[in-house]
Chain A
Amino acid sequence: QVQLQESGPGLVKPSGTLSLTCAVSGGSISSSNWWSWVRQPPGKGLEWIGEIYHSGSTNYNPSLKSRVTISVDKSKNQFSLKLSSVTAADTAVYYCARVRRYCSSTSCLAFDYWGQGTLVTVSS
Chain B
Amino acid sequence: DIQMTQSPSSLSASVGDRVTITCRASQSISSYLNWYQQKPGKAPKLLIYAASSLQSGVPSRFSGSGSGTDFTLTISSLQPEDFATYYCQQSYSTPRTFGQGTRLEIK
Contact = CB atoms under 8 A, between A and B. Distances in A.
Partners in one complex: yes
Interface of A: 36, 45-48, 51, 59-63, 95, 97, 102-103, 105, 107-112, 114-117
B18 interface: no
A47 to B, nearest CB: 7
Contact of A111 (B30, B36, B94, B99): B36
B100 interface: yes
Interface of B: 1, 30, 32, 34, 36, 42-46, 49-50, 53, 55, 87, 89, 91-101
A97 B91 CA distance: 14
A122 B104 CA distance: 30
Given A110-B34, A114-B43, A114-B44, A48 B49 contact: no
Nearest to A117: B43
A109 B91 contact: yes
